[in-house]
């Protein structure tokens, strides 16, 4: 049984930041990741290569992208060494003031002021740069901005991509030669199936790379099944091989950082709270305050064979439609048309009958265009995904239970805190924007069938569930990410985000992790 100063569970934004900063402070660090380690050449060429793109190990799929279907939300999230950075859209904006001033956490710290230097560090470490190439989809969105009188609120994205000469390899341009060689972006659009070029600034190219170089041990294909307090102090971490091959392993550590994201950290904490030999004194608030970016996803499909929306980075521009909402054009690379199997006409309605009726009506009004849309030669080239987000709050809770979505096995289930503020599949402004876009390009607007059939919204930005509070009565962790009731336990990932940033959250998770690590003393020094 190996002992470490710190075990970090998960290698995403929170875990990778924690690993690097702890190694720099002299700690012996182990990072445990349930997914695989991927080199650029290991990523799939398209998302039809399900074995290397999608994560369903029970079906032999060991890729970087996972879909979790819950009762009130469908969650899109990442797996692998580098966590969500492998599959996310590398878009790194800073939230607006309402996020920092949200009542859910504003009493705990002066968040905007305290996080400002950590955002700067995060931007430097992640290599944030302004996207230099706007596409056809961006120009369409700009024209919509002009119609809405919001042209000044349209701009290119800030992204974590190396924009050197396309496909030209150069020495490390970010860390004074301590980092890996990099290759210039060729704008192929494959950011979300895994960057085979090597231009995307994934965590294995920065934080995690430097952490390993500094001595951190990263063990992949290993899933944490339990974390238990030891009588003699510290914690016991039990693991199993992710794919059922090999033996279970046990580690011990003085400290543990939970960094598996909402879909990893929250169910693990819920299970340990129920286990009398686990962490039974965890706050009863575990699983509360789960939120999304109040997103709506739509896809505009264009029958025109000459249309090509696949070039560019994953997200190339942003239009702020009002003070709390914005929309972004999103893309997959040519050939990555897997989602054509999961779309239905975009429609509104509070009941299944009304939504299906609306979908049928849309097809009946223009059956030839819909037929062409469903049979386009290259779905990714001939479609533009539109991602709409809002800062408005709406939360749900996660618990362990049984329902049809878990196959009646014990698993993660959700319940609504306030049905009137629940995440919504049908947001009127998002519907209108998608229809405007479709009209301009001669296409049709569609969405995931889970939204049309079930009325269940989708999110790539699940947050909360281990939120902050002054005490265990109102939060799982304190403002320094320390778990109430357990010295040496921390939650540093998206589940610790205690308000809705309303924008792609990776930069914010990184900045919060940097701040949390700033409070940890160097090894051998007392806690301040």
Structure tokens given for 332: 């997959």
Q: Cβ distance 411 to 400 under 8 Å? A: yes
Q: Residue 454's closest CA among 76, 75, 77, 74?
A: 74
pLDDT given for residue 51 in this prediction:
96
- Dist. CA 333–CA 162, nearest whole Å: 18
Q: Residue 527 above 70 pLDDT?
A: no
Domains of the chain: total: 1
Q: Residue 73 above 60 pLDDT?
A: yes
Q: Which sequence positions are flagged as catalytic?
A: 461
Answer yes or no: is 507 within a domain.
yes
Answer yes or no: is 326 within a domain.
no
Lowest mean pLDDT across 60-69, 134-143, 368-377: 368-377
The boundaries of the domain holding residue 256 are 1-67+97-119+215-291+461-523
Query: For residue 528, what pLDDT band results from cuts at 50, 70 and 90?
Result: very low
Residue 221 DSSP code: S
- Dist. CA 246–CA 240, nearest whole Å: 8
**Residues pairing with 56 in the sheet:** 61
Structure tokens given for 384: 């533009």
pLDDT given for residue 349 in this prediction:
77
Q: Considering the chain, what percentage of its residues have pLDDT values greater than 90?
A: 79
Q: How far is CA 524 from CA 380, 481, 521, in A?
A: 54, 21, 8
Can you tell me the mean pLDDT for 80-98? 96
pLDDT given for residue 260 in this prediction:
97
- Dist. CA 103–CA 108, nearest whole Å: 10
Per mean pLDDT, which of 55-69, 381-395, 414-428 is the most reliable? 55-69
Structure tokens given for 321: 């439609």
Lowest mean pLDDT across 85-89, 173-177, 268-272, 369-373: 369-373
Q: How far is CA 412 from CA 95, 228, 266, 287, 425, in A?
A: 29, 20, 9, 10, 20
Model pLDDT for residues 279-327, shown as the tens digit of each residue: 999 999 999 999 988 888 899 999 999 999 999 999 999 999 998 899 9
Can you tell me the mean pLDDT for 61-67? 95
Can you tell me the mean pLDDT for 72-94? 95
Q: Residue 42 above 50 pLDDT?
A: yes
Q: What number of other Cβ atoms are within 10 A of residue 236's Cβ? A: 18
Q: Which helix H or strand E contains 145, and what residues bound it? A: helix 136-147
Strands 411-416, 395-401: pairing kind:
antiparallel
Answer yes or no: is 8 within a domain.
yes
pLDDT given for residue 424 in this prediction:
75
Q: Residue 494's closest CA among 505, 482, 503?
A: 505
Q: Residue 471 above 70 pLDDT?
A: yes
Mean pLDDT, all residues of the chain: 93
Answer yes or no: is 25 within a domain.
yes
Structure tokens given for 14: 């929170």
Answer yes or no: is 475 within a domain.
yes
DSSP H helical ranges for 325-445 = 352-365, 367-374, 428-441
pLDDT given for residue 229 in this prediction:
96
Residue 167 DSSP code: T
pLDDT given for residue 406 in this prediction:
62
pLDDT given for residue 75 in this prediction:
93
Answer yes or no: is 273 within a domain.
yes
Q: Residue 481 above 60 pLDDT?
A: yes
pLDDT given for residue 1 in this prediction:
67
Model pLDDT for residues 386-421, shown as the tens digit of each residue: 999 988 777 899 999 987 666 667 889 999 877 776
pLDDT given for residue 417 in this prediction:
79
Answer yes or no: is 318 within a domain.
no
Can you tell me the mean pLDDT for 61-89? 95
Q: Residue 334 above 60 pLDDT?
A: yes
More confidently predicted of 145 and 72: 145
Q: What does the buried/exposed string (b/e) look like for 120-139 if buried means 16 or more CB atoms within 10 Å of the residue's CB?
A: eebbebbbbbebeebbebbe
Helix (H, G, I), strand (E, B) or coil at 78: strand
Answer yes or no: is 33 within a domain.
yes
Query: For residue 266, what pLDDT band results from cuts at 50, 70 and 90?
Result: very high
- The CATH number given to whatever domain includes residue 484 is 3.50.50.60
| Residue 214 exposed, middle or buried by CB count within 10 Å (0-12, 13-18, 19+) | middle
pLDDT given for residue 359 in this prediction:
86
Query: For residue 77, what pLDDT band results from cuts at 50, 70 and 90?
Result: very high
Helices 367-374 and 352-365: crossing angle, nearest 10°?
A: 100
pLDDT given for residue 407 in this prediction:
65
- Dist. CA 187–CA 199, nearest whole Å: 9
Model pLDDT for residues 148-182, shown as the tens digit of each residue: 999 999 999 999 999 999 999 999 999 999 999 99
Query: For residue 12, what pLDDT band results from cuts at 50, 70 and 90?
Result: very high
């Amino acid at each position: 049984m190996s002992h470490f100063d710190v075990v970090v569970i998960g290698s995403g934004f929170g875990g990778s930041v924690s690993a690097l900063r702890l190694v720099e402070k002299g700690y012996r660090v182990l990072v445990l990741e349930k997914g695989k380690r991927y080199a650029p050449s290991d990523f799939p060429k398209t998302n039809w290569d399900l074995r290397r793109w999608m994560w369903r190990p029970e079906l032999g799929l060991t890729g970087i992208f996972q879909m979790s279907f819950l009762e009130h939300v469908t969650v899109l999230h990442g797996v692998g060494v580098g966590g969500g950075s492998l599959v996310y859209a590398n878009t790194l904006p800073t939230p607006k003031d309402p996020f920092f001033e949200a009542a859910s956490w504003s009493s705990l710290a002066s968040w905007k002021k305290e996080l400002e230097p950590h955002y700067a560090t995060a931007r430097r470490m992640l290599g944030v740069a302004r996207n230099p190439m706007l596409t056809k989809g961006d120009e369409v969105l700009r024209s919509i901005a002009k119609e809405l009188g919001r042209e000044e609120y349209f701009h290119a994205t800030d992204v974590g991509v190396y924009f050197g000469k396309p496909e030209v390899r150069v020495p490390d341009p970010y860390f004074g030669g301590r980092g890996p060689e990099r290759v210039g972006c060729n704008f192929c659009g494959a950011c979300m199936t895994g960057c085979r070029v090597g231009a995307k600034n994934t965590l294995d190219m920065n934080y995690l790379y430097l952490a390993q170089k500094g001595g951190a041990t990263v063990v992949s294909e290993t899933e944490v099944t339990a974390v238990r307090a030891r009588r003699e102090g510290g914690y016991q971490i039990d693991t199993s091989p992710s794919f059922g091959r090999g033996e279970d392993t046990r580690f011990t550590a003085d400290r543990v950082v939970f960094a598996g994201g909402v879909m990893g950290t929250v169910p693990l904490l819920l299970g340990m709270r129920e286990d009398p030999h686990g962490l039974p004194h965890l706050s009863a608030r575990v699983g509360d305050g789960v939120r999304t970016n109040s997103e709506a996803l739509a896809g505009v499909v264009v029958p025109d064979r000459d249309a090509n929306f696949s070039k560019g980075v994953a997200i190339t521009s942003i239009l702020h439609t009002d003070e709390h909402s914005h929309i972004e054009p999103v893309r997959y690379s040519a050939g990555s048309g897997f989602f054509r199997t999961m779309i239905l006409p975009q429609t509104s309605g509070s009941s299944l009958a009304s939504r299906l009726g609306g979908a049928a009506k849309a097809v009946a009004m223009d059956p030839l265009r819909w037929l062409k849309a469903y049979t386009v030669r290259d779905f990714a080239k001939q479609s533009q995904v539109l991602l709409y987000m809002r800062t408005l709050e709406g939360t749900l809770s996660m618990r362990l239970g049984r329902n049809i979505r878990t196959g009646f096995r014990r698993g993660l289930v959700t319940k609504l805190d306030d049905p009137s503020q629940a995440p919504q599949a049908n947001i009127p402004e998002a519907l209108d924007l998608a229809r405007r876009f479709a009209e301009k390009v001669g296409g049709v607007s569609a969405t995931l069938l889970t939204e049309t059939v079930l009325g269940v919204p989708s999110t790539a930005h699940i947050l909360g569930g281990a939120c902050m509070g002054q005490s265990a009565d109102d939060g799982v962790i304190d403002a320094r990410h320390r778990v109430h009731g357990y010295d040496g336990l921390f939650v540093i990932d998206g589940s610790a985000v205690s308000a809705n940033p309303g924008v792609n959250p990776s930069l914010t998770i990184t900045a919060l992790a940097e701040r949390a690590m700033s409070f940890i003393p160097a090894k051998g020094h007392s806690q301040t």
